[in-house]
Amino acid sequence: MNITQRLTASICALLNCLASASYAADEKPTNAPEKITFDDHVKPILREHCVFCHEAGEKEGGLAMDTYAALFEGGASGQVLNEDGDLESSRFWKLISHSEEPIMPPGSDRIPDDQLAIVRRWLEMGALKDSGSKAKKKKANALSFVVSSGGRPEGGGAMPQSIPQATRYATERPAATTAIAASPWAPLIAVAGHRQIVLYHGDTAELLGVLPFPEGIAQSLRFSKDGSYLIAGGGEHSVLGKVVVYDVKTGERMATVGDELDTVFDADVNDRVSRVALGGPKKMLRIYEVGEEAPLFEIKKHTDWIYTVAFSPDGVLIASGDRSGGLCVWEAETGRLYLDLVGHKGGIHSVAWRDDSNVLASASADGVVKLWDMNSGKAIKSINIGGPALDVSFDHQGRLVTAGGDNKAKLWKADGGHLRDFPSMPEDVLEVEISHDGKRVIYGDWTGSVMLVSTEGKEPGVPLASNPPSNEARIKELEEKVAAANSEFQIAKQQQTAKQQAANAAADALKQHKLKTTTAQKAVADANASIKDAEKSLKDLDNGINAQASQSRDSIDRLIAARVLVLESPDAKQQKKLVEREQQLAQVMNQLVASRLSKSKQQAALVELQKKLGETQKQVTTLSAGLSTFEGAAQNAAAEVQAAAAAAKPVEVALNQLKAKLERLRKEAAEVQ
């Protein structure tokens, strides 16, 4: 953080403070309850319950409560009340309200609720001494935090691309969880195992890679600020300590730093990945220029094992904490002490920086996570986490996750308010991290089990093993999976085939049906044509009959004429002519009769034809109506075929993926061997 940034931050803080002050000032006159004061209200209560032991003479625990001044002076273990009467951080309140041990008064019931309420109101009103006192201003809220998205790399954080996934070292059970890291910008989680670091997908819990750590056990894992590098500090206890920087995409060891005589408990790199700070049981804080063999700074200040080291996100400061409660902040550039933070009564197990580098969180075995303001160098919040605090971590929104000796991982608001407890573990929770999107926490305990749990806490957690099974076992498992997927695929394929057959049948049926319809339609047309022909021939017949009838009438006429003539002149000629004429008539008449006979025949045929046409037409109608059914069936069947094909596709893809995975694992396992 540069100076302007720091300045802005402090101005912001100042403004905040002014704002809250004026707010408080505004509120006062409108709502003026009776002043609760020490002298008038609280002293009698203390006299009744506390002062017998806590008086100036007896002074149990070094604390006297008989006067206002003495109460604020505190006891042997420090202040019991803040001047501004902040309830949350008041030991006095916690003990008398029995929310913390040792309960006070010891071995007896709590102070009656009505009296307790008075004390509470007294504290809330600013712990006034007497009616003339004025409440002290509440401390400025340095916990106001503006969420920033700074630091997010283009296209999100790096994910493993070509890191081998073969197990490097298989153990039956895991060792206690030593380190977990979550990429700040990608769904990527690293878990330390025995001589290896296991990478998991932060959403799917899929194993993404196994980084070898032949130096021993990584005691610390941290991602670089942009998530591109993974920094592993560790080694072999009492033998060797190293820090290794891995490329997250390829798993390549970019640098190896340090040569400790005992393991490294924690290590971190700065924002530019140019410097590494490390510490361990040798009590020396060493800062290296990456690539250099000799340390840049060797800082001898810690009096006990250094448990934790962390660069501020802006790379300006380094915080380090030790086993006997020493907590220091150093200037990263010069190696000079910037702050010596005094307040913890137990070893510092972990430190974490908020994104803006203004607030440092420290987790201590005394059960408290303290938040320190880097501008003032003061503790601005003490969160009692309910057990020895073993790890702490911020997310991008400034929320905190803590791991505790009460077997719990917990989520806290940015201002230190309690948000949620995650499902308990069987033993001390040693490590905790929160995912890049703040949606999941990852925590591991003494038994070595690591859980990936949603911060909403709705779904059950997923275990992440720090000891993935042996390659043989994993290959076997994959083979089983491939087999299962294969059989699934086969079933899908069979189903697809069956559907296809059904579809083909349906199509055939449709085709048949269509053919039938066409035939029927043609029959109708034929019938119509026949009828037409028949009608025409009938007409022709009629015409012929008509003509024959007129001809016959002519023939009759001529016969009559002939007869007449015969009568008039019965000569042979005439006779002959008459016979001729008679023959002619008979002929015509015969023809007419034949025609008429033909017509009636023809008429009967027409009726027959028309009847047939009706039938055929009916058939056509029925067939036309049935067509849609066949068409639907065919369509359905076709759709089913497509669906089956679609269903088979992912199975096939999965199968292929599994096959590829198996192939990869086989290959990589062979390489590892």
Partner 1 sequence: MKKHHLRCIPATFLALSAMLLASTGKHAIAAEPAEAASISKSSSPPRRPEFAVYPPAVRLDGSSDFQSFIAVLRRDDDVTEDATERVNWKIANESIARLVDGKVHPLTDGKTSLVGSYLGTTVSVPVEVHDSAKSPKVSFTNDVMPVLTRASCNTGSCHGAARGKDGFNLSLFGYDPEGDHFRITREIGTRRINLAVPEESLLLRKAVGSVPHTGGKLFETGSDHYKTILAWLKDNVPLDRQTGENAVPTVDRVELYPPQAIIEGDGSQQRMIAVAHYSDGTTRDIEELATFSTNNSTVAAVDQSGLITAGTRGEAFVMARFDTHTVGSQVLTLPENLEYSAPSTEPEPSYVDELVMKKLNQLRIEPSPACSDEEFIRRATIDIAGLLPTEEEFHRFVHDPAEDKRERLVDELLSRKEFSEIWAMKFAQLLMIKSSNQVSYKSALLYANWITDQFAKNRPINEIVQELLTSSGGTFSSPATNFYEIERDVLKTSENVAQVFMGIRTQCAQCHNHPFDRWTMEDYYGFASFFTQVRRKNGEDYREQIIYDTRGGEVNNPVKKKPEPAKYLGGDTVDNKGDHRRVKMAQWLTSGDNPYFATSLANRVWAHFMGVGIVEPVDDIRVSNPASNPELFETLGTKLVEYEFDFRRLVRDICTSDAYARSTQSNPSNAHDSRNYSRALVRRIPAESLLDCICSVTQSPDKFRGMPLGSRAVQIADGKTTNYFLTSFGRSPRATVCECEATTDPSLSQALHLLNGASVNDKIKRGRTLKQWVEQEKMSTPDVIDRIYVRALSRYPTDEERQLLVDQINPEANVVSELEDIYWAVLNSREFVFNH
Interacting residue ranges for partner 1, rule: CB under 8 A:
171-178, 193-194, 217, 219, 236-239, 261, 263, 281, 304-305, 323, 427-428, 430, 446-448, 467
Q: Report in angstroms how near the CB of residue 671 gets to partner 1 at its nearest.
A: 23
Q: Is the Cβ of residue 126 or residue 326 nearer to partner 1 in the bound state?
A: 326
Q: Is the Cβ of residue 9 or residue 309 nearer to partner 1 in the bound state?
A: 309
Q: Name the nearest CA neighbour of 256 among 277, 242, 266.
A: 242
Q: Report in angstroms how near the CB of residue 350 gets to partner 1 at its nearest.
A: 13
Q: Report in angstroms how near the CB of residue 467 gets to partner 1 at its nearest.
A: 6
Q: Is the Cβ of residue 98 or residue 237 nearer to partner 1 in the bound state?
A: 237
Q: Is the Cβ of residue 322 or residue 640 nearer to partner 1 in the bound state?
A: 322
Q: Is the Cβ of residue 338 or residue 446 nearer to partner 1 in the bound state?
A: 446
Contact between 548 and 591 (Cβ < 8 Å): yes
DSSP 99: S
Compute the distance between CA of residue 96 and CA of residue 114 in angstroms, rounded to an integer: 13
Order of strands, sheet of 359-364, starting from the edge strand that comes earlier in the sequence: 348-353, 359-364, 368-373, 378-384
Q: Is the Cβ of residue 95 or residue 578 nearer to partner 1 in the bound state?
A: 95
Contact between 260 and 303 (Cβ < 8 Å): no
Q: Report in angstroms how near the CB of residue 234 gets to partner 1 at its nearest.
A: 10
Q: Report in angstroms how near the CB of residue 332 gets to partner 1 at its nearest.
A: 27
- The Cβ of residue 297 has, within 10 Å, a number of other Cβ atoms equal to 18
Q: Report in angstroms how near the CB of residue 47 gets to partner 1 at its nearest.
A: 21
Q: Report in angstroms how near the CB of residue 325 gets to partner 1 at its nearest.
A: 14
Q: Report in angstroms how near the CB of residue 382 gets to partner 1 at its nearest.
A: 23
- The Cβ of residue 214 has, within 10 Å, a number of other Cβ atoms equal to 10
Backbone φ, ψ for residue 109 (5° rounding): -70, 165
Q: Report in angstroms how near the CB of residue 238 gets to partner 1 at its nearest.
A: 4
Q: Is the Cβ of residue 75 or residue 193 nearer to partner 1 in the bound state?
A: 193
Tokens (6 digits) for 326: 């020493």
Compute the distance between CA of residue 116 and CA of residue 123 in angstroms, rounded to an integer: 11
Compute the distance between CA of residue 312 and CA of residue 541 in angstroms, rounded to an integer: 117
Beta strand spans in 110-263 (E): 180-182, 188-201, 207-223, 229-236, 240-247, 253-260
Compute the distance between CA of residue 503 and CA of residue 645 in angstroms, rounded to an integer: 13
Q: Which residue has the tokens 């056990």?
A: 217
| Torsion (CA) 597, 601, 607, 613 in degrees, nearest 10 | -140
The number of residues in the chain equals 673
Contact between 672 and 251 (Cβ < 8 Å): no
Compute the distance between CA of residue 422 and CA of residue 343 in angstroms, rounded to an integer: 28
Q: Compute the Cα dihedral for 87, 89, 93, 98 and give only its sign.
A: positive
Compute the distance between CA of residue 654 and CA of residue 668 in angstroms, rounded to an integer: 20
Compute the distance between CA of residue 171 and CA of residue 636 in angstroms, rounded to an integer: 55
Q: Report in angstroms how near the CB of residue 269 gets to partner 1 at its nearest.
A: 22
Tokens (6 digits) for 60: 């149990």
Asked if the bond preceding 102 is cis, omega within 30° of 0, the reply is yes
Beta bridge partners of 456: none
Q: Which long-range contacts (CB under 8 A, 24 or more apart) does 104-107 make?
A: 104/50, 105/49, 105/50, 105/53
Q: Is the Cβ of residue 129 or residue 323 nearer to partner 1 in the bound state?
A: 323
Contact between 226 and 207 (Cβ < 8 Å): no
Q: Is the Cβ of residue 30 or residue 108 nearer to partner 1 in the bound state?
A: 108
Q: Is the Cβ of residue 447 or residue 610 nearer to partner 1 in the bound state?
A: 447
Q: Report in angstroms how near the CB of residue 51 gets to partner 1 at its nearest.
A: 18
Q: Is the Cβ of residue 58 or residue 292 nearer to partner 1 in the bound state?
A: 58
CA angle 219–179–462, rounded 5-degree value: 155
Q: Compute the Cα dihedral for 5, 6, 7, 9 and give only its sign.
A: positive
Compute the distance between CA of residue 658 and CA of residue 646 in angstroms, rounded to an integer: 19
Q: Is the Cβ of residue 264 or residue 371 nearer to partner 1 in the bound state?
A: 264
Q: Exposed, middle or buried: residue 49 (CB in 10 Å: 0-12, 13-18, 19+)?
A: buried
Backbone φ, ψ for residue 398 (5° rounding): 85, 5
Q: Report in angstroms how near the CB of residue 236 gets to partner 1 at its nearest.
A: 8
Tokens (6 digits) for 286: 């060493």
Q: Is the Cβ of residue 107 or residue 460 nearer to partner 1 in the bound state?
A: 107
Q: Is the Cβ of residue 157 or residue 193 nearer to partner 1 in the bound state?
A: 193
**3-class SS at 264?**
coil
Q: Report in angstroms how near the CB of residue 20 gets to partner 1 at its nearest.
A: 42
Q: Is the Cβ of residue 102 or residue 377 nearer to partner 1 in the bound state?
A: 102
Q: Report in angstroms how near the CB of residue 466 gets to partner 1 at its nearest.
A: 8
Q: Is the Cβ of residue 392 or residue 492 nearer to partner 1 in the bound state?
A: 392
Tokens (6 digits) for 49: 């319950």
Q: Report in angstroms how near the CB of residue 326 gets to partner 1 at its nearest.
A: 14
Q: Report in angstroms how near the CB of residue 345 gets to partner 1 at its nearest.
A: 16
